[in-house]
Amino acid sequence: MLDRLTEFFFPKQVSTYASDIDSLYFFIFYSSVVLFFIVVFGMVYLSIKYRHRKGEDLKLTSSKDHSNLLESMFFIIPLILVSITFVWGIRSYLKMVIVPDDAIEIKVTGQSWFWTFDYPDGGTTLNELVVPSNKPVKLVLSSKDVLHSFFIPVMRSKMDCLPNRYNIMWFDATKEGVYDIFCTEYCGTGHSQMGAKVIVMQPAQYDEWASELGSEDDDLPLDELGAKLYTKKACNTCHTLDGSALVGPSYLQTSQMWGQERVFDDGSSTVIDDNYIRSSILEPMTKIVAGYQGVMPTYQGLLSDRELDALIAFLKTLNEDSQI
């Protein structure tokens, strides 16, 4: 019964402290329901019982306006309930902030509008946080630009990412699976697209994954690797493949204009070719396409040369006519 209710109100419980927080929720929830029914019942009962009936004369009403017993009850019962809530809230909170010593440490960087994860043994991922199950994971969070907030509903945890200092959060994932990550601090145009996934693996599987991190894509043909990178490196947050404009121009449009002039907001123009794409990825703020805002972060250091080649190859495949 309680499990069914928990499922109704909450996402899955995946961290060790999640059930504790949900129990606190249900304690407040049931207390509130009782208090709420007292309020509504009192309101309905008194207003109907003492309603002014048709034809009844106006009369002098009771001068009763206090009752020490009732008032002390209204004071003491909520006081007891909120005291329990307060202490419970703090005790559970301490579980959420005291990081176990053996936690593996992953660096999380928020940036408009994607997440970068740096792993302890080298290697990074974008928008995919991979962690082992049943092992504490400590996240060190910061931001490269404006405020972001890193929220994993199934873990019941959340922490702001600041550009000038590090914040810490930790969890111990109890169930393998793929779960949502959301940005919960407003960060501009792409805020609602700044989602990511956390992938919880068996520890053995995680170790294997970590050792292969970065090398798995070596065998892929360039255009297939590019297609993969398009979502993996969060290009899709701002650039569509169907020609519609999001934050930035669609890849399809760029692909269709291959070899033609592109006009920038300062009036200058360039022919779209491999070098233009490369510099647009590495130095996006130097040439801003007319009609768009210059908001793209640089991918300098986030993409290898092979990955850059792959993205360019992928972009070219989008338009059949542009096979040059």
Partner 1 sequence: MSNKTKQNYLNHPKGIMSWLLTLDHKRIGLMYLFSGILFFFLGGLLALVMRFELAAPGNDIISNEVYNNVYTLHGAIMIFLFIIPAIPGALGNILLPLMVGAKDVAFPRLNLASFYIYSFGALFAMYTIINGGVDTGWTFYTPYSTQSSSNVVPMTLGIFIIGFSSILTGLNFIATIHKMRIPGLTWYKLPLFVWALYGTSLVQITATPVLAITMVLLMLERFLGIGIFDPALGGDPVLYQHFFWFYSHPAVYIMILPAFGIISEIIPVHSRKKIWGYKFIAYSTLSIAFIGFLVWGHHMFTSGQSVFSQIVFSFITYFVGIPTGVKIFSWILTMYKGQVSFTPPMFYALSFLFLFTIGGLTGIFLGAVALDIHLHDTYFVVAHFHYVMQGGTIVAFLGGLHHWWPKSFGVMYNQTIANIAALGVFIGFNGTFFPQFLLGLRGMPRRYATYDEQFVELHSYSTFWSGILGISIFIAVMNLFWSFIKKNKVDPGSNPWGGMTLEWTHTSSPPHPHNFEEEPVLQHGPYDYDKVIVDKTYKK
Burial readout 85-113 (b: 16 or more C-beta within 10 A, e: otherwise): eeebeeeeeeebeebeeebbebbbbbbbb
Give residues 252-291 in contact with partner 1 (rule: CB under 8 A).
none
274-282 and 305-317 are packed helices; what angle lies between their axes, rounded to 10 degrees? 120
Nearest-angstrom CA–CA distance, 119 and 303: 16
Nearest-angstrom CA–CA distance, 112 and 294: 12
Nearer to partner 1 (CB atom), residue 153 or residue 177: 153
Nearest-angstrom CA–CA distance, 318 and 140: 38
Alpha-carbon distance values, 168 to 29, 99, 131, 157, 159 (Å): 29, 9, 16, 11, 7
Q: Which residues share a beta bridge with 169?
A: 139
Nearest-angstrom CA–CA distance, 160 and 8: 27
Q: Which of 86, 134, 304, 306 binds partner 1 (CB under 8 A)?
A: 86
Nearer to partner 1 (CB atom), residue 4 or residue 52: 52
Residue 68 contacts partner 1 per CB under 8 A = no
Residue 54 contacts partner 1 per CB under 8 A = no
Nearer to partner 1 (CB atom), residue 229 or residue 253: 253
Alpha-carbon distance values, 97 to 69, 87, 130, 140, 190 (Å): 42, 15, 21, 12, 30
Q: How far is the CB of 133 from partner 1 (least distance, A)?
A: 20
Give residues 210-239 in contact with partner 1 (rule: CB under 8 A).
none
Handedness of CA 183, 187, 192, 195 (dihedral sign): negative
Residue 75 contacts partner 1 per CB under 8 A = yes
Q: How far is the CB of 293 from partner 1 (least distance, A)?
A: 7
Q: How far is the CB of 271 from partner 1 (least distance, A)?
A: 29
Residue 4 contacts partner 1 per CB under 8 A = no
Q: How far is the CB of 300 from partner 1 (least distance, A)?
A: 18
Nearer to partner 1 (CB atom), residue 47 or residue 215: 47
Give residues 154-213 in contact with partner 1 (rule: CB under 8 A).
154, 156-160, 162-165, 167, 180, 182-193, 195
Burial of 18 from C-beta contacts in 10 A (0-12 / 13-18 / 19+): buried
Q: Which of 153, 214, 284, 297 binds partner 1 (CB under 8 A)?
A: 153
Q: Which of 19, 24, 264, 313 binds partner 1 (CB under 8 A)?
A: 24
Q: How far is the CB of 66 from partner 1 (least distance, A)?
A: 6
Residue 138 contacts partner 1 per CB under 8 A = no
Give residues 96-125 in contact with partner 1 (rule: CB under 8 A).
96-97
